[in-house]
A and B are shown apart, each in its own frame.
Chain A
Amino acid sequence: SQELEQSPQSLIVQEGKNLTINCTSSKTLYGLYWYKQKYGEGLIFLMMLQKGGEEKSHEKITAKLDEKKQQSSLHITASQPSHAGIYLCGAGYNQGGKLIFGQGTELSVKP
């Protein structure tokens, strides 16, 4: 969706390195979702952020939503090969429940 931009489109990191993926919305978000996808499989939910300034963590993955609720970042600490996959941010813009996604970021982690 053009309303939601992710960067970078792809990322190759050495195992053990930290990395950040960004998601920017053209409009104020009602809710921001992060999902992970392995090639050929469905999407796995990581976390959802709704409040401006909110931060959540799941194992070595941390996501933040900025105060204006238009940008989110996903940070992975000490990356491992198991972190490889496609990371997608999703956005809800109102209480109606419509959920759209960015283009995704393909992450490769080299051992």
Chain B
Amino acid sequence: DAGVIQSPRHEVTEMGQEVTLRCKPISGHNSLFWYRQTMMRGLELLIYFNNNVPIDDSGMPEDRFSAKMPNASFSTLKIQPSEPRDSAVYFCASMKTENTEAFFGQGTRLTVV
């Protein structure tokens, strides 16, 4: 298996634009997590899904952020409109079953100018 695949690896966008980050979890994994990492706040959990259903989105900072998981092999995190303070590395991770090893993607480095 290729592991968790995120795209794009790098994204530079202008303030106000819509940004969509993509994640393909490992086949057969039932849980998917979206995290944001910054120097100031560390690695924050934004939202996680079990069996494609959002379980906890309490970490989503604002209504500008939304996440979907239309099927077991794909998830998106959308920011609209983007702001400079959204600049961070966004990670996706998947887990086969609850409370087992979480596998992380390589991350998407987002810069909003």
Contacts and interface: CB of A to CB of B under 8 A. Distances in A.
A33 B93 CA distance: 14
A88 B45 CA distance: 14
Contact of A99 (B33, B105, B106, B107): B33
Nearest to A41: B106
B98 A96 contact: yes
Interface in B59-113: 89, 91, 93, 95, 98-107, 109
B55 interface: yes
A103 interface: yes
Interface size class of A (residues with CB under 8 A): 20 to 34
CB-based closest 6 A-B pairs:
A97-B98, A42-B104, A103-B42, A43-B104, A101-B43, A42-B106
Which of B45, B99, B100 has the largest count of A CB atoms less than 10 A from its CB?
A: B99
Q: Is the interface of B mostly helix, strand, loop or mixed?
A: strand
27 contacts: A33-B102, A40-B107, A40-B109, A41-B106, A42-B91, A42-B104, A42-B106, A43-B93, A43-B104, A45-B101, A45-B103, A50-B99, A92-B99, A96-B55, A96-B98, A97-B31, A97-B95, A97-B99, A98-B45, A98-B48, A98-B55, A99-B33, A99-B45, A99-B95, A100-B45, A101-B42, A104-B43
Interface residues of B, number: 27
A104 B104 CA distance: 16
Contacts, number: 65
A104 B107 contact: no
Interface of A: 1, 30-31, 33, 35, 40-45, 48, 50, 88, 90, 92, 95-104
